[in-house]
Amino acid sequence: MIGVTIQNNENIDRAIKRFKKKYERSGVLREFKARTQFVKPSIEKRLARIKASRRQHKIQKEQD
């Protein structure tokens, strides 16, 4: 459960901004979307291979 305590003399907008940051970093929405949508295992593997190749290409590009 994500929560934010409002400190003394703190603006409510600032507290909301802190809550949004915590919410995004925790990955709750990302996990929810992943669980609600079924992806075939073969497609998951293919996407993982593509992601890995992009990561390797990026690393090689930085080293050159």
Task: Tell me the C-alpha distance between 34 and 59, whole Å.
Answer: 27
d(CA 16, CA 11): 9
pTM metric for this prediction: 0.52
What pLDDT digit, counting tens, does each position of 2-55 carry? 888 898 898 999 999 999 999 999 988 889 998 999 999 999 999 999 999 999
Say if residue 64's pLDDT is above 90: no
**What confidence score (pLDDT) does residue 18 get?**
93
